[in-house]
Structure 1
Amino acid sequence: MDLLIDGLKKAIEMILTGDQEIYTITWLTLKVCLIAILISTLIGLPLGILLGLTRFRGRKVLLLFINIGLGLPPVVAGLWITMFLWRSGPLGDLAMLYSPTAIVMAQILVSLPIVTSLTCSSFQQVNDKMLLQIKALGATKLQTLVILIKQSKIAILAAIMAGFGRVIAEVGAAMMVGGNIQGDTRILTTTIVMEVSKGNFDVALALSFILLTVALLITAALTFLQQRRRLS
């Protein structure tokens, strides 16, 4: 208990004293996570809607791979991204390994299946009778899609929150593709692991409180948006 209290005090001290490194690490964590979940949403939402509402050849195989991706170990995602970005890899000439961009790529790889699969599941549950009723009212395909998105907004925001939860907690892939370089690719999760390995448990706990606060604030904002829209 004393260690937890010391960690909380250390976190407050870091914030109040304006520890520049902590602000840099926290800002980078926010930036890469928000960019990753934004891209995952922009890709996963339309793909999930397509898979949920339509039937085409190869759909089941695509769904199988997406569902397999739900359990993709982060270190495997990190390994694949590393192989692609390595000097001898297909994207080696871009020199993106050990950069924030590489971390974003790894986080997209682990969050995209979550957003896609949960969105698909939501749209698969759309009642056929409701679709017939919408068509009977003379709605165009675009208008029908807008109506269905509004009806599924709770599930869509839940999918985004689940994806965000995955990326904000990710450490294995970020460590592998980012290298935990101070001032460049060091984020909160990788810093916590580093401090634990050095035996600085008070600092690690302080960072964990900061990480939890960031995750809580973002999730609370999404939850408020979710429930507010539900009432409207």
Structure 2
Amino acid sequence: MNLIWTGLSEAMQMILSMDPEVLEITWLTIQVCLISTFISTIIGVPIGMILAFKSFPGKRLAILLSHAGMGLPPVVAGLWVTMFLWRAGPLGDWQWLFTANAIVIAQIVVSLPIIISLSYSAFKKIDGGMRLQLKALAPTKTQSLVLYLKQAQFGIWAAIMAGLGRVLAEVGAAMMVGGNLQGQTRILTTAMVMEVSRGNFEIALALSFILMTIALILTFILLKLQQKDVTV
């Protein structure tokens, strides 16, 4: 119990003292997580809608892969991203390996299947009668898109929150593709693993409290946005 209080005290000291390294790690964590979640959202939600409403060859396989991808081990995602970004890999010319961009890509890989799958489920839950009513109104494609998004908005926000939670907790892929380089690719989760390996449990606990605080704040913001949209 003393270890927990020591970790909490250490976290407060780090925050109040405005420790430059902790602030840098925290800010990079927020950046890569928000960017990867945003990109996964703008890609995943349309794909989920297409899977829900369109028929095409290979649709069942695409749905199966999106559902199976929800359980994709982060280290597997990290391995594939590393191979693609390696000097001899297909994207080696980008020279993104061991950079923040590589972490963003890895986080997209682990969060995208979650957002696709949950968005698909949200759109599939739209009542069939409601869909017929919408078609009877003969709306334009843009109007139909807006109406379907409004009907599925609760599930879409849930998908975004699930995707964000996945990237905030991700460590294996980030460690593999980012290398946990100080001042460049070190984020809260990889820093925690490093401190535990050094036996600095108080610092690791302090970083965990900071990460949980960020997760709570971002989740609270998304919940408020979800409730605001639902009540519109």
TM bucket (normalised to shorter chain) is: over 0.9
Q: Deviations over 1:14-37 (max 9, x none)?
A: 011110000000000000000000
Once the 2 structures are TM-superposed, how far is the Cα of residue 142 of structure 1 from its aligned partner?
Answer: 2.3
Q: Find the aligned partners of 1:205 and 1:131 in 2 and give their Cα distance.
A: 50
Specify the alignment match of 2:119 in structure 1. Answer: 119
**What letter is aligned with 2:140?**
T
Once the 2 structures are TM-superposed, how far is the Cα of residue 140 of structure 1 from its aligned partner?
Answer: 2.4
Q: State whether structure 2 residue 9 is matched by structure 1 residue 6.
A: no
**What letter is aligned with 1:14?**
M
Specify the alignment match of 1:86 in structure 2. Answer: 86
Q: Find the aligned partners of 1:67 and 1:85 in 2 and give their Cα distance.
A: 26
1:142-153 paired onto structure 2 within 5 Å: 142-153=142-153
Q: State whether structure 2 residue 45 is matched by structure 1 residue 67.
A: no
Q: Find the aligned partners of 1:41 and 1:173 in 2 and give their Cα distance.
A: 20
Q: Deviations over 1:66-113 (max 9, x none)?
A: 112111000000000000111111111211100000000000000000
Q: State whether structure 2 residue 162 is matched by structure 1 residue 162.
A: yes
Q: Find the aligned partners of 2:99 and 2:160 in 1 and give their Cα distance.
A: 24
With 60-69 and 130-139 compared, the bigger mean Cα shift is at: 130-139
Specify the alignment match of 2:105 in structure 1. Answer: 105
Q: Deviations over 1:23-68 (max 9, x none)?
A: 0000000000000000000100111111111111111111111112
Q: Find the aligned partners of 2:89 and 2:54 in 1 and give their Cα distance.
A: 36
Q: Find the aligned partners of 2:96 and 2:139 in 1 and give their Cα distance.
A: 46
1:215-226 paired onto structure 2 within 5 Å: 215-226=215-226
Q: Find the aligned partners of 1:107 and 1:137 in 2 and give their Cα distance.
A: 40
**What letter is aligned with 1:210?**
I
**Structure 1 stretches of 4+ moved >3 Å:** none
Q: Find the aligned partners of 1:136 and 1:80 in 2 and give their Cα distance.
A: 46
Q: Find the aligned partners of 2:230 and 2:67 in 1 and give their Cα distance.
A: 28
**What letter is aligned with 2:74?**
P
Specify the alignment match of 2:135 in structure 1. Answer: 135
Q: Deviations over 1:155-208 (max 9, x none)?
A: 100000000000000000000000000000000000000000100000000000
Q: Find the aligned partners of 1:80 and 1:194 in 2 and give their Cα distance.
A: 23
Q: Find the aligned partners of 2:137 and 2:27 in 1 and give their Cα distance.
A: 49
**What letter is aligned with 2:75?**
V
Question: Scaled by the length of structure 2, what TM-score is found?
Answer: 0.98
- For structure 2, the residue ranges without an aligned partner over 5 or more in a row are none
Percent identity, please.
58
Specify the alignment match of 1:174 in structure 2. Answer: 174
Aligned length: 232
> Helix, strand or coil: the match of 1:181?
coil
Specify the alignment match of 1:24 in structure 2. Answer: 24
Specify the alignment match of 2:95 in structure 1. Answer: 95
Once the 2 structures are TM-superposed, how far is the Cα of residue 130 of structure 1 from its aligned partner?
Answer: 1.1
Q: Find the aligned partners of 2:145 and 2:90 in 1 and give their Cα distance.
A: 38
Question: Scaled by the length of structure 1, what TM-score is found?
Answer: 0.98
Once the 2 structures are TM-superposed, how far is the Cα of residue 134 of structure 1 from its aligned partner?
Answer: 1.5
Specify the alignment match of 2:33 in structure 1. Answer: 33
Q: Find the aligned partners of 1:145 and 1:19 in 2 and give their Cα distance.
A: 46
Q: State whether structure 2 residue 200 is matched by structure 1 residue 231.
A: no
Once the 2 structures are TM-superposed, how far is the Cα of residue 125 of structure 1 from its aligned partner?
Answer: 1.8
